[in-house]
Amino acid sequence: MISLAGVTKSFGDNHVLQGIDLEIARGSSMVIIGGSGSGKSVLLKCILGLVWPDAGTIMLDGQNVTTQDRDAFLARFGMLFQGGALFDSLPVWQNVAFRLLRGSLKRPAEEARAIALEKLRRVGLMPEVADRFPAELSGGMQKRVGLARAIAAEPEIIFFDEPTTGLDPIMAGVINDLIREIVTEMGATAMTITHDMTSVRAIADNVAMLHAGRIRWTGPVDQLDTSGDPYVTQFITGSPHGPIAAVR
Amino acid sequence: MTPATPLGATGRATLGMLAAVGRVALFAARAVSHILRPPFYPREIALALLNIGWLSLPVVGLTAVFTGAALALQIYSGGARFNAEAVVPQIVAIGMVRELGPVLVGLMIAARVTSSIAAEIATMKVTEQIDALVTLSTNPMKYLVVPRVLAALAVVPALVAVGDVIGIFGGWAVATGSLNFNPAAYLKNTVDFLEPLDVISSLVKGCAFGGIAATMGCYFGMNSGRGAQGVGRATKSSVEAAAILILAANFLLTGAFFSL
């Protein structure tokens, strides 16, 4: 279980997170929704230790993440970045097998390549893609390679940062289905940040809405439409009228 | 404008500069500390050696040969004013080995390598590749910075040595081709005149300039701002800082080697 209590983070006068309390149960898929600039990415980076919170505690299975061994902690995570974040200088299979070619999870190169090819197949990419470089792939293919990299070491927890941004609706649907299938078959805990409501409904078990640096509402995805919270209602209907300022 | 304003601005600028020097020094110290601790990435080191060393040879060679040739012409022309044309081999040798070789190679490395390192790492930062490295349990200092700094420390002295030799060859070619110097005598005068300290100072300068060039590229890349403008600013600042530090270090090293 991932548990956040009173997490705050400011950048100068910009108080991005103002006391986040959130729990994500093991094996569940939590989707964080919220407007642009609401702090969703910062929250995710705080959990991963890419950004240090100013205050509050982040616990993973009852242990404070800031005091854990970093390598052991990160070895439990996989992450799909918004833009893929593939390494330009490496061919696709080495991107996917990056973690398996070095560090504590290192395997022989042939074995790592075989796992990379299997993960590429899992996300619907042909073996011919393996020896191409990221710049030679379309946006949708890069996203799928990023997804293959995120699951290559079979992590217990997977984070997805805006997994469908910049994709056409069909490719977005493919990615949503893949995420749902992978999370279900691996039994992984998933945390996704997005403002794509189609993704929310496809991926989430539970939803939390982040607004003004705080969790505004949280609950099962099937209660999203009946939450009664005016912020959530405005967000999911995409209305310019409501408590969330249209001009920010 | 009140009298305090320029004073305050000067104070703020000074404090800002000192803070920047401190940040660079801490970054360099962290890089050095990581050089000594595993894990090591030999493939990244080999790639950096290739990029910084082998692929810089054409630029270094062309810069050195034209500089050595021009230096021979200048010394011949200047020496003629007091009947000292015969010192061309000695002055070309000392000029290239002690000063122009290391400084020009250092500046060319700053232009070619520092800019490339800064742009590459800054682009990796703005496209979240550095964050991706961290999430894949890989320390960016060890994976990106250490190989480049190590490679530059090792290979730039070699580039300086090559530049020195090619520069001297440029002077020899002009002197023997159009200034009527005897080829064998020119080379003998060159070799006889140079002292071990001249060569040692040249190589030490190469090592220092290589370290500066790679460290500045890595520092500004890792601390880049957002977007294309951030990458552009990081690249520009890295080359400016590397060039200035190389010239300052050259002055200090020249003083240390030859003023005592």
* Nearest residue on chain A to B134, alpha-carbon basis: A50
- A230 falls within a domain: yes
A50–B131 C-beta distance less than 8 A: yes
**Amino acid type, A125:** L
Distance from CA of A3 to the nearest CA of B (A): 19
Q: What is the mean pLDDT of chain A?
A: 89
Whether B137 sits inside 8 A of A87 (CB atoms) is no
Closest CA to A79 of A122, A41, A127, A133: A41
- Of A74, A87, A105, which is closest to B135 when you measure between CB atoms? A74
| pLDDT attached to residue A67 | 77
- Chain B hits for A83, Cβ within 8 Å: 127-128
Please name the member of A77, A86, A102 whose beta carbon is closest to the beta carbon of B135: A77
ipTM score assigned to the predicted complex: 0.87
Angle at A87 between CA A83 and CA A90, to 5 degrees: 145
Residue A220 belongs to some domain of the structure: yes
Nearest residue, CB atoms, A85 vs list B132, B137, B138: B132
d(CA A56, CA A81) in angstroms, rounded, equals 25
Looking at the structure of chain A, the number of domains it has is: 1
Q: Do B137 and A71 touch (CB under 8 A)?
A: yes
Q: Which H helix or E strand runs over A19?
A: strand A14-24
Residue A80 lies in a domain: no
Subunit contact B134:A85, Cβ cutoff 8 A = no
Res B4: pLDDT = 67
Q: How far apart are CA A190 and CA A48, in angstroms?
A: 13
Q: Which residues of A touch B125 (CB under 8 A)?
A: none
CA distance B139 to chain A (A): 10
Residues of A in contact with B132 (CB under 8 A): 79, 81, 85-87
Residue A89 located in a structural domain: no
Under a CB-based contact definition with an 8 Å cutoff, are residues B131 and B78 in contact? Answer: no
Edge-to-edge strand ranges of the sheet holding A63-64: A14-24, A2-11, A55-60, A63-64
What digits encode the pLDDT tens for the residues A129-151?
999 999 999 888 998 899 999 99
Give the strand order in the sheet containing A29-33. Answer: A77-80, A157-161, A189-193, A29-33, A206-211, A214-220
Both tokens assigned to A147? 């997804």
pLDDT at A56 over 70: yes
Interface test with A, best of B51, B124, B137, B148 (most A CBs within 10 A): B137
Question: Would the CB atoms of B136 and A98 count as touching at under 8 Å?
Answer: yes
Best of A48, A52, A79, A80 to disrupt the B interface (most B CBs within 10 Å) is A79
**Mean pLDDT over residues A97-104, rounded?**
89
Over pLDDT 70: what percentage of chain A?
Answer: 99
Per the CB < 8 Å rule, is A83 touching B127? yes
pLDDT, average across residues A209-237: 89
More confident residue, B199 or A170: B199
Most B-contacting residue of A41, A47, A74 (CB-CB within 10 A), to test interface:
A74
Residue A234 falls inside a structural domain: yes
Bridge partners, A206 (sequence order): A30, A220
CA distance B123 to chain A (A): 10
Query: Residue A141 corresponds to which tokens in the numbers above?
Result: 């293919």
For residue B129, which residues of chain A lie inside 8 Å, CB to CB?
A: 85-88
Identify the pLDDT of residue A73: 83
A157 assigned to some structural domain: no
CA distance A51 to A47: 8
CA atoms within 13 A on the CB side of A17: 27
Query: Does position A38 have pLDDT exceeding 80, yes or no?
Result: yes
Whether A103 is in a domain gets the answer: no
Q: Are B67 and B46 in contact (CB under 8 A)?
A: no
pLDDT (average), residues A183-209 = 90
- Whether pLDDT at A248 is above 60: no
- The answer to the question of residue A206 being in a domain is yes
Which residues of chain B, if any, have pLDDT below 70?
1-4, 260
C-alpha to C-alpha distance for B40 and B142, rounded to whole angstroms = 7
Q: Residue A227: give the domain boundaries.
A: 1-69+189-248
A86 to chain B: closest CA residue: B129
Minimal CA–CA distance to B155: which of B243, B79, B233, B52?
Answer: B52
Q: Name which of B136, B142, B143, B148 to mutate to probe chain A: the one with the most chain A Cβ atoms within 10 A of its Cβ.
A: B136
What's the pLDDT score for residue B12? 92
Task: Assess contact for B217 and B148: CB atoms under 8 A.
Answer: yes
pLDDT band at A187 (very low <50, low <70, confident <90, very high): confident
Kindly report the CATH number assigned to the domain that includes residue A230: 3.40.50.300
What the block records as the tokens of A131 is 């020896």
Assign A182 a pLDDT band (cuts: 50, 70, 90): confident
Domain boundaries, chain B: 42-255
Instruction: Give which of A81, A135, A138, A91 is closest to A116, Cα–Cα.
Output: A91
